[in-house]
Chain A
Amino acid sequence: MARQLISVPLKITGLARCIADRFYPWDRRPCPAWRHRREAGKHGEKVAARFLQRAGLKILVRNYRHRRGEIDLVARQGRDLVMVEVKARHPRARWAPQDSVGWGKQKKIIWVATAYLRELKCRPPAVRFDIVEVWQAPGEIPRCRWIPKAYSLEDAGLEWSR
């Protein structure tokens, strides 16, 4: 009986969790080892989400999928809806992570974003497209760089169609 009592974990309330996410640097912890590249990408997305939470963004959806596309993170900052693409790289990689968010990827994200807005079934809020670059390696503390308004519909030569 007593043993059971001891093993009961501390109850974490929603509020405590929220405060911890907002201020505790969860993203600044050494990365675990991974076997596969896919795990690295997953971890990068996790780190980026924590990083953005700490920056004051509210994460609404992770990995929103629609047919053939995916948005890594959908977040809200103030009145803006933010579509985030996360790119993780090894810290000694040759090229910047943002370089691989090319024109095709941008178009795809924009296309999925329209689908998301349709699903919202409300007047579309102001939408922004950001990139978060993560440099990470097993056992090292990851570094993040946030590029707000990385690209826009006008750059892609498109317009909201609704």
Chain B
Amino acid sequence: MNHFARTWSAAVLGVEACPVAVEVDSGGGKDNFVVVGLADTAVKESRQRVKAAIYNNGFAVPEGFITASLAPADLKKAGPSFDLPIALGLLASIGMINRDRLAEWMIIGELGLDGEVRPVRGTLAISLLARQQRVRGLMVPAINAAEASVVEGVRVVPVRDLREAAGVIDGKNPPPTPLAHGKNGVSQPEAGPDFSEVKGQEAVKRALEIAAAGNHNVLMIGPPGSGKSMLAKRIPGILPKMSLEESFETTRIHSVAGLLKSNESLVQQRPFRSPHHTISDIGLIGGSANPNPGEVSLAHNGVLFLDELPEFRRSALEVLRQPLEDGQVTISRAAGSLTFPARFMFVGAMNPSPRGTMEMRGPGKAAKKYLHRISGPLLDRIDLHLEVPAMKHEQLLSAEPGEGSAPIRERVEKARTRQRDRLGVASGIFNNAQMGSRELKRHVPLDQEARGLLAHAMTDLGLSARALDRILKVARTIADLAESESVHLDHLAEAIQYRTLDRQLWG
């Protein structure tokens, strides 16, 4: 006389979701409730929540031995999102709701003791899975509904409490207001800080414009109070608008990390992450026992700003190398390896010496020690090195505002469009910074004069092969901004000039 019911849920692994069958068997033996299937503590504790929620919603908990099994049994499950499927499975196992209909649904949600359905992480990934699995419907917490309904072709049903969820399965309740796909709660990009608020620093602004146009990495070096952080905070404002795919990817990562605001469907604004310099390498790159995305992944399609770069731990900086090069992070743990996307624009800021000021006669002993906390390979991966000089009082007190973010952004978008057209959609490359050596050869042809200039630069500055590639990419971006088809000598010269500062300082 055992009773059995099955339904579907999902476990989130990295940014992917995989289906989990939730099977509930009740009856026979002494009262007991076990959850099996490699569940972590949060899942095991769900039995207390489920019992209380069922009682407090006026249902009865079936007597006897209750077994809830999460299959596949060799996959580690974490988090409280299995509460709702277990509770509904339990009700279905004793026939309080329709067993066959329940088996066609995919259900996620955490339960409160009063039966309220709480939001869970990774709804977007689960919604994509639901489309793949062709379930009858996806039941999500009402707060996550906007996020889940971004995916087309899935019937998303938001529920607020257990009673409502049971009603939806039985088809008693009128289905809650249907959600239009992709349109719900899209937050308009708010107007962030504007470039016109920064006075002076025209050269740096120009360089940041180039960086934004080609998605190049930037390192700003200057004394305290020269406006490095201020400038960095304004970079997302001049980056082009996110395309739908980009905002999809970013939303997925933020959803897994639980950073989405309630009722927010897609992240429209490019993320700007500025972790404190005490961050651990795991916090930066992602990981821990059940891998979570780190700051590099949270900054995907946006800006990762590291203020006071030399203060960061050496190991934390070194782990940045791989994502800077590949645009993704692969985390391997005993449980398996996961890949998180991490294509971000790296912006660093630092003082030229521990005292903060640029030293007249080149870096002294202490300054050298300070500078050498940043390794050569990391510096090599940064395209533009900028000096941010201290401001003069005439500039600071002058009333006239600088150029605003809007016109800069327009130019940047135009340059990006040129890049995309040139590189083609099929290549999977959207900006100059992502170009490989093959694309470089094709899109940055060099004439005799340019070769001569580069040869000089390489010998004089002692540039590496990677630095050379980076210079060519920056030159290409400068040419794009100037709306020129080919890369001219002055574009190249400007690009080389952005690589000279590191030679002077680190020499």
A interface, CB within 8 angstroms of B:
96, 98-99, 101, 131, 147, 149-152, 155
CB distance from B408 to the nearest CB of A (A): 69
Q: Across chains A and B, which 7 residue pairs bring their CB atoms closest together, nearest first? A: A150-B30, A149-B29, A150-B29, A98-B30, A151-B30, A147-B30, A98-B31
Query: Residue B29 contacts which of A96, A99, A147 (CB distance < 8 angstroms)?
Result: A147
17 A-B contacts (beta carbon < 8 Å): A96-B31, A98-B30, A98-B31, A99-B31, A101-B30, A131-B30, A147-B29, A147-B30, A147-B64, A149-B28, A149-B29, A150-B29, A150-B30, A151-B29, A151-B30, A152-B29, A155-B29
Q: With a CB–CB cut-off of 8 A, which chain A residues contact B31?
A: 96, 98-99
Please name the residue on chain A nearest to B63 by beta carbon: A147
- A152 partner residues in chain B, CB cutoff 8 A: 29
State A96–B31 Cα separation when bound (angstroms).
Answer: 10
Secondary structure call for the B interface: loop
A98 to B65, CA, bound (A): 12
Q: Determine the distance from Cα of A141 to Cα of B30 in the docked complex, in whole angstroms.
A: 24
Q: Who on chain A is nearest to B28 by CB?
A: A149
Interface hub of B29, B30, B31, B64 (most chain A Cβ within 10 A): B30
C-alpha spacing A92/B465, complex, angstroms = 84
Which residues on A sit within 8 Å (CB–CB) of B29?
147, 149-152, 155
Binding site for A on B (CB under 8 A): 28-31, 64
CB distance from A80 to the nearest CB of B (A): 15
Instruction: Report how far A101 CA is from B30 CA in the complex, Å.
Output: 9
Identity of the chain A residue whose Cβ is nearest the Cβ of B30 in the assembled complex: A150
Tell me, in angstroms, the Cα distance from A68 to B30 when the chains sit together: 24
CA distance A151 to B30 in the complex (A): 6
Enumerate chain B residues within 8 angstroms of A131, measured Cβ to Cβ.
Answer: 30
Question: Which chain A positions have C-beta within 8 A of B30?
Answer: 98, 101, 131, 147, 150-151
- Bound-state CA distance A74–B179 (Å) is 63
Q: How far is the CB of A98 from chain B (nearest CB, A)?
A: 5
Beyond contacts A147-B64, A150-B29, A150-B30: 14 other A-B pairs, Cβ-Cβ < 8 A, are A96-B31, A98-B30, A98-B31, A99-B31, A101-B30, A131-B30, A147-B29, A147-B30, A149-B28, A149-B29, A151-B29, A151-B30, A152-B29, A155-B29
Rounded to whole angstroms, the CA-CA distance of A49 and B28 in the bound complex is 21
Alpha-carbon distance A125/B431, docked complex (angstroms): 78
Give Cα A101–Cα B31 distance, bound, in whole angstroms: 10
Cα distance A147–B31 in the bound complex, in angstroms: 9
CA distance A150 to B30 in the complex (A): 4
